[in-house]
Each structure stands twice: as C-alpha cells, then as structure tokens.
Amino acid sequence: MSYNLLKGKRGIIFGALDANSIAWITAERIHEEGGKFVLTNAPIALRMGQINELAEKTNSQVIPADATSLEDLENLVTKATEILGGKLDFVLHSIGMSVNVRKGNHYTNQNYDFTHKGWDISAGSFHKTMQVLYQKDAMNEWGSIVALTYMASQRVFPDYNDMADNKAYLESIARSFGYFFGRDKKVRVNTISQSPTPTTAGQGVKGFDGFISYADKMSPLGNATGLDCANYTIAMFSDLTKRVTLQNLYNDGGFSNMGVSDGVMQAFVEGK
C-alpha cells in the first residue's frame, strides 16, 4: 500500500547489495511512496551485487563511492543533487563491515589494521557523509538522515565482535552530528536499531541463526523484518516525524525492553 508519503522528495541510499539487504527493500518502498534517489555502494560491492537491477526497477542512477573517501563522497553529493535536480530530503546509511569477523579473528585477538578499517567503513563513513552534506549545504530544511544499527551497541553479544563497537560509535556520531545538523540546518538525524535480519552482511556473523531464533523468542511481537525496517525508515523520512531527532529508535518487536520471555524460559526448563 502506498500513501505518497515521499512524493517530491529526493535522496541518497547507501548500501543496497541484493534483494536481501534492508537498503534494497527500503529503496523499493521509497520508490512506491513517490521518492526519487540515487543508489551508491563501494565499487567492489557493485561488482558483487545486483544493484543495476534495482536501479532499473526504481528508475534510479547508480554512483559508485567509497564511503570512507571524502573525495568520493563529495563527488557523490554533487552528482546526486545534479541528477535529482536540487537539494536532498533524505539519506539512508546502511553500511557495516568487520574485517576481523570476515577473517575469523576473535574479539580478544584483533588485527588492529582490520579494526580501524571496519570502524571507518561502519561508523567513520557516517561522520564523513554528514560532514560533506553539512559543508555543501546539500540537505533541505526538515530533511532526514537515518543510519541502521543493532542492539549489540548497547548489550553484549559475544560473537558480534568489533561490529558492536562500530555500532556504538555510529550511534554516538548520530547524536553528536545530529545536534549541529538540527541547530544549523533543521535536519534530523536518527539511528534505527533493527532486529537481527538475514541479510548478506548479517549472515557473516558467527551463530547468526541463533541470534535470530533467540530474539524472535524474546520479542512479544517477534522479529522485525527487512520490510518492517523499510516502512519505519519511510516514516522517518516523511514529514510526519519532523521533530524526531538524536534518537536511537528500536524496531525490534519489543526485544530491547525484555528481561526474559516465557518462550526462552520454557526452552531452559525443558533443557533445550
């Protein structure tokens, strides 16, 4: 169902890789709601994914950009405003990667070059993106910037590794930069803390199926799907949430406020 919530709005979507990625599903929903956008991802991700298929489907253009490179980001923002015909109303940051996780390094035995690279991709890139948008005055008043995060930024999930630190940093950047973006440009900045979702990136984490099953049993409404996250993001990009900023917003079926659930207790009592 479409409500035309984003009619006439323009933006950039980072991180669409394939049909499983939340950014991909969100792009489809933004298109349905009347929004226009450019798609971007790192050149290597563009080769791995099927983003051209999404671009065709949503009548969008793809601009390759390494989100850790200020030069690439400046080029991206300049081209996006040219292609879309004006300033931006929304930006989705849906990027996260841990080289330590990919290489199988335990949290207690990190390669710090990998740690730095993962931090730069997952969190530093969010600051860089906002810095470019801010300095170029590329956002319309009452625009909305959203980054996707996960509960491991707040609580211990042992196998989430240094991605937990990256997400904590990401959330802090959202608050700190969000203050200046709000004060100076009337732009809001928020993070959405999503249930564990079976994306290509998520499935790289050890024990991810266990995360999903546990969270589903813990949450009174069950896990939020990628489509649920896309719809929440649409609400955050729309004019219906104009005064919501500096928030970490949980889209997790209630997981974040649970101590224990009947389903989880039952599994322990039965010795499962």
Domain ranges across the chain: 10-269
pLDDT digits (tens, 9 = 90+) for 126-140: 999 999 999 999 999
A 10 A CB-CB count for 267 gives 14
Which residue out of 150, 214, 232, 250 is catalytically annotated? 150
User: Three-state DSSP class for 195?
Assistant: coil
Whole-number percent of the chain with pLDDT over 70: 98
- Segment 115-123 mean pLDDT: 98
**Residue 221 predicted with pLDDT over 60:** yes
pLDDT confidence bin for 248, thresholds 50/70/90: very high
- Binding-site residues from annotation for NAD(+): 15, 21-22, 95, 167
pLDDT recorded at residue 115 = 98
pLDDT confidence bin for 272, thresholds 50/70/90: low
Rounded to whole angstroms, the Cα distance separating 74 from 267 reads 52
pLDDT digits (tens, 9 = 90+) for 179-214: 999 999 999 999 999 999 988 776 667 777 888 999
- Annotation says 107 is catalytic: no
**pTM exceeding the 0.75 threshold for the entire prediction:** yes
Give yes or no for a contact between 177 and 169, defined as CB atoms under 8 angstroms apart.
no
Which residues are bridge partners to 249 per DSSP?
192
Which residue out of 107, 112, 134, 160 is catalytically annotated? 160
Which residues are bridge partners to 10 per DSSP?
36
pLDDT digits (tens, 9 = 90+) for 6-51: 999 999 999 999 999 999 999 999 999 999 999 999 998 888 879 9
Q: Which CATH architecture has domain 10-269?
A: 3-Layer(aba) Sandwich (3.40)
- Segment 240-268 mean pLDDT: 96
Mean pLDDT score across all residues of the chain: 95
pLDDT recorded at residue 268 = 85
